Structure 1
Amino acid sequence: MTKQKVIALFPEASYGAALNCIGIAQQLRGQGARPVFICHENFRGVFSEYGFAEYSLASGAGDGQVDWNAFINRHKGAFQQSPLEQISSYVAPTWDAIVDTAIRAEEPLKRLIAQIRPDAIVLDNVVMFPAVANAGVPWVRVVSCAETEIPDPLVPPYLSGCGAKKGADWDVFEARYAREVAPAHRRFNGFLAECSLKPYPAGQFLEASSHLNLLLSPEIVRFERKQPLDPQKFVYLDGCVRNEAPYPMPVFAAGNDKPLVLTSFGSLGAMDVAMIRRMISVFATLPFRFIVNAGPWRDDYSHIPDNVLLESWFPQPSVVEKSTVFIHHGGNNSFCEALYYGVPSLVMPYCWDGHDNARRAEETGTGLKLDRYRWMETELADAIASLAGDKAMHTRLKDNSLRMQAAAGVSKAAKTILDLL
Structure 2
Amino acid sequence: MARVLFVTISAEGHVNPTLGLVKQLVDNGEEVVYMCLEEYRARLAQTGAQFRAYQLDEQVFRELGFNPTEFKHPLHFTDFMLRGIIELHLPEILRQTENDSFDYLIFDSLFGWGGAILGEKLGIPTVCSVTNFAFTEPLSRMVEVFDAGDLDVEALYERVATTAQSIAREYNVALPAIEDITSQYGHLKIVFTSREFQPDADKLDDSYLFIGPSITPRLDAPSFPLEQLRSQYDKVVYISMGSILTKDLEFYKLCFEAFQDIPAQFVLSYGKDTHLGSLGNSIPPNFMAMPYVPQLEVLQQADAFITHAGMNSTSEALYYDVPLVMIPLSSDQPIVAKRVEKLGAGLVLDRSQLTPAALKSALLQVLNEPSYKKHAKQIGDSLRNAGGYKEAASRIMSLFSKV
Say whether residues 1:192 and 2:168 are aligned partners: yes
| Of 146, 151, 159, the match for 2:137 | 151
Question: 2:306, 2:325 within 8 Å by CA — same for their partners in 1?
Answer: yes
Give the TM-score taking structure 1 as reference length: 0.80
Q: 2: distance between equivalents of 1:157 and 1:258?
A: 45
Equivalence for 1:92: 76
Say whether residues 1:238 and 2:212 are aligned partners: yes
CA 1:200–1:73: 2 relative to 1, 3 Å: closer
Equivalence for 1:165: none
Equivalence for 2:121: 134
| Secondary structure of 1:306 counterpart | coil
Say whether residues 1:329 and 2:308 are aligned partners: yes
Question: 2:81, 2:182 within 8 Å by CA — same for their partners in 1?
Answer: no
How far 1:262 sits from its partner (Å)? Answer: 1.5
Equivalence for 1:259: 235
CA 1:364–1:275: 2 relative to 1, 3 Å: same
CA 1:135–1:12: 2 relative to 1, 3 Å: same
How far 1:5 sits from its partner (Å)? Answer: 2.6
Q: 1: distance between equivalents of 2:230 and 2:208?
A: 48
CA 1:317–1:113: 2 relative to 1, 3 Å: farther
Q: CA deviation digits over 1:39-69, x for unaligned, max 9? A: 1245443423555431011xxxxx3444799
Which consecutive unaligned segments of at least 5 residues does structure 2 have? none
Equivalence for 2:397: 418
In the alignment, residue 137 of structure 1 is paired with which amino acid? I
How many residues align? The count is 391
| Secondary structure of 1:121 counterpart | strand
CA 1:73–1:383: 2 relative to 1, 3 Å: farther
How far 1:391 sits from its partner (Å)? Answer: 1.3
Question: 1:37, 1:52 within 8 Å by CA — same for their partners in 2?
Answer: yes
Say whether residues 1:363 and 2:342 are aligned partners: yes
How far 1:214 sits from its partner (Å)? Answer: 1.6
Pairs within 5 Å for 1:114-129: 114=98, 117-127=101-111, 128-129=113-114
Question: 2:133, 2:198 within 8 Å by CA — same for their partners in 1?
Answer: no
| Of 248, 253, 260, the match for 1:284 | 260
| Secondary structure of 1:270 counterpart | coil
| Secondary structure of 2:273 counterpart | helix
Q: 1: distance between equivalents of 2:46 and 2:201?
A: 39
| Secondary structure of 2:105 counterpart | strand
How far 1:115 sits from its partner (Å)? Answer: 5.1
| Of 247, 250, 254, the match for 1:271 | 247
How far 1:293 sits from its partner (Å)? Answer: 1.8
How far 1:306 sits from its partner (Å)? Answer: 2.1
Equivalence for 1:213: 189
| Secondary structure of 1:266 counterpart | coil
In the alignment, residue 6 of structure 1 is paired with which amino acid? R
| Secondary structure of 2:5 counterpart | strand
RMSD: 3.4
Q: 2: distance between equivalents of 1:192 and 1:72?
A: 20
CA 1:213–1:355: 2 relative to 1, 3 Å: same
Taking only the aligned residue pairs, the percentage that are identical comes to: 18
